[in-house]
Structure 1
Amino acid sequence: MPPETEDDLRLESLARVALAAYDLAEPLALRLHARGLNTIFEVTTYSERYALRLHRSGYRTNDHIRSELQFVRSVTEHWADQPLLSAPRPITNRNGDLVVEVIAEDAALSWDLMTWVDGQVLVPGRGLTENTVHRLGQALASLHSLSAQFRPPADFSLPRWDADGMFTPSASPYRPEVGIEELLDRRDLELYAEIAERTRAIFATLESAGDSFGIIHADYILGNCYLQRAGSAWRASVFDFDDCGWGYFLYDLCPLLGNLAGHPGAIVNNPAYPRLRDAFLAGYRTMRSLPSALEEHLPTLIAARNANHCLLTAGRDVSPTPAQDATWRMSLARQCLTLPY
């Protein structure tokens, strides 16, 4: 590993302050695992492994984080007797809270602790097959069924991924700091508005159908799902619920479908996409209803995922080149509208 930087050492010092709020055995190791939108440390004690997460500032409130973890805890409890499904289990600190605040340079940093999940990310061309995609469809359907049954407590608060939340900057959970008109040229702005209008119409149709809205993962991509052999079957572990919120279940299928198509993904314009898409949807249907008439909406909603990410890259400290990233996302959105269904 490269030598630790001064910033790495500072983060490790803050991580140890956060860990002191938990009743853990003395850590055997604390290792910086990943730095991205969130920072993840791997914590190893005498008997357990944990993920200590530092949340990016300016994205979610502590109430949002607590609500996310309450929902994830409900998922882990329901999946406890299903050996082929798992999610990280949130750990309560010594004060009975799910979030720890650490003050650093006059800023309040929010941390949480969860159990570690094992497995590997599979992608087209490197281990992903119809069988594993089928399993990922089952896992998402199970998650949606749990969401439909979930009864939030009175203080529960999560953002909404409805049409306003996805496309209106002032309502976006991403809290963009750059206007969409500053990111896109006229042609892409017109496409952005068209996708927003079409998505709003689809959501209105789903609203009238019932049983279509609940807490969604909102970032169900290949990179957030581990797969691990369990005899002749596959164990699926779902993690990174950092974007979860209220939204439409049909939309929640689309981030991973975009990966399978290659928008974005390991193989651009993946020729195996129709086969993998059918396996994913078939897996979903083994656990939850998905009327075939809804499939015609999938290309638009896959495009909507990419258009929505223009607002993500316009957020604070997310990208040094938000205009370039947004242009790339709109190029993907344009291709997604031509996908077969």
Structure 2
Amino acid sequence: MTTPARSAQIAQTTPTGAAIAEKVAQAYDFGEVRSCELLRRSFNHVYGLQFADGRHAVARLSADRPRGAPNIGYETALLVHLKVRGVPVAGALAARDGAHAVAMDLPEGERPLILFEHLDGDVPGDVLPDVEATGRGLALLHEAAQDYHGPASRYGLELPDLLHASLERLHAAPTMTDALRPEFSAIARALEARIAAMPALTRVHGHGDCHGMNNFVTEGLDGVRVASFFDFDDAGPGWLAYDLCVYLWAMHPRTVDGSLDATSLARWRSYLAGYRSARPLPSADVDAVAAFMAVRQFWLMGEHAGRIAVWGTQSMPTSWLRTQVKMLTAWAELRTPE
């Protein structure tokens, strides 16, 4: 699907549920759309649909990310591969013409709309058997993706996309100051040197955003809890330590002297135990997790910096950037808890 030149006057529009329902009815053979509602407006727009026959689906209206165009070819092919291997994921549903994405014409230009399978289940939260199931499910996902040979990913879970590009966007942000730029650069250089000094680390096709809110857990036939995954928008090839760090990063306090409480430590240990129950986990990869938490924070700042046209400058005020310098400096001393 080719994308025409985008309007310089419109950053990003939010179509109504009715507009999405109309497009789905035109492009897909699922019959009448009974209801369609906006679930979330974040990196993309996500909608929940119910059809007249009772079926449910989730539609994602993708947007250009700060990194560039959506990674649809890789994402949808990886989902097909994982489903064939028996991994429970929300696969992309084919449109009437067989494509996994259809173009929706909007004031800013064409944006791809994808329809995904609906998943049921519980959010893992702090329920330890469900957290363990999440870790085990991620390990099974990594194992099943080892022999993926489909379309290449546009992006990688590697330093060029996660750290270097994020730092460039951060430097260009209107709320950045001349005093803060060299401080962020020094932190990034030290972080890169820390990672370069590590022993060889494991690489995987990673989910990229496994923070505990992009999977559900259900009861398996044998009574064992089973995790199913969705939202592979950030998936890509890269370091296992980065894919693991996202869960710990999501729990860790965003303060200079923050540390995990007992509940969070128990969750992290259950997560690792679940992973190890399904796939070997080298100690070098676990040790590297703490450093990649800082990489993940740079990624988040880069996402904010690259979305100021949509989210506004108040999404990353200068005061927040000063706090990030202090926090990331403290995080240089972090070690992965076990």
Q: Aligning the two structures, in what range does the TM-score lie when normalised by the shorter sequence?
A: 0.7 to 0.9
* Unpaired runs of at least 5, structure 1: 1-6, 80-84
| 2: CA distance, partners of 1:99 / 1:31 | 19
Q: Deviations over 1:48-85 (max 9, x none)?
A: 110011012355435x2122111112212322xxxxx6
Residue matched to 1:3: none
Structure 1 segments, 4+ long, off by >6 Å, are none
Which residue number in structure 1 is paired with residue 211 of structure 2? Answer: 221
Aligned in 2, Cα 1:111/1:190: closer, same or farther, shift over 3 Å? same
Which one of 62, 65, 68 corresponds to residue 75 of structure 2?
A: 68
> Gapped runs of 5+ residues in structure 2?
1-12
**Which residue pairs with 1:39 in the alignment?**
45
1:165 maps to which residue? 161
Q: Which amino acid aligns with 1:133?
A: V
Matched ranges for 1:294-313 at <5 A: 294-313=285-304
The answer to whether the 8 Å contact 1:307/1:333 transfers is: no
CA contact (8 A) 1:91 1:114 kept: yes
Q: Which residue of 2 aligns with 1:270?
A: 261
CA distance in 2, matches of 1:229, 1:55: 31
Provide the TM-score with structure 1 as the length reference. 0.80
Counterpart contact for 1:302–1:333, Cα < 8 Å:
no
Q: Greater shift after overlay, 107-116 or 182-191?
A: 182-191
Q: What residue is the counterpart of 1:82 in the other structure?
A: none
Distance, in Å, in 1 between the alignment partners of 2:322 and 2:18 is 36
Maintained 8 Å contact 2:90/2:119 = yes
Q: Deviations over 1:204-258 (max 9, x none)?
A: x336xxxx22321111111212223457432312111111112111221000022
The Cα of 1:175 is off from its aligned counterpart by 8.8
Alignment of 1:1-341 (within 5 A): 10=16, 12-45=18-51, 46-59=53-66, 60-61=68-69, 64-79=71-86, 86-105=88-107, 107-124=109-126, 128-129=127-128, 131-153=129-151, 156-169=152-165, 176=169, 179=172, 182=176, 184=180, 186-202=182-198, 205-206=199-200, 212-230=202-220, 232-263=223-254, 269-316=260-307, 317-318=310-311, 320=313, 321-324=315-318, 326-336=321-331, 337-341=333-337
Q: What CA deviation, in whole Å up to 9, does each residue of 1:167-193 have, x standing for no partner? A: 212xx6x99485279364544442233
Deviation digits for residues 20-70 of structure 1 (CA, Å, limit 9, x no counterpart): 1111121121122221111111111114110011012355435x2122111
How many correspondences in the alignment?
Answer: 312
Give deviations 1:276-331, integer Å, cap 9, x for gaps.
32222121111111122433222111222112222111113255333455555555
- 2:324 & 2:20 partners in 1: Cα distance? 35
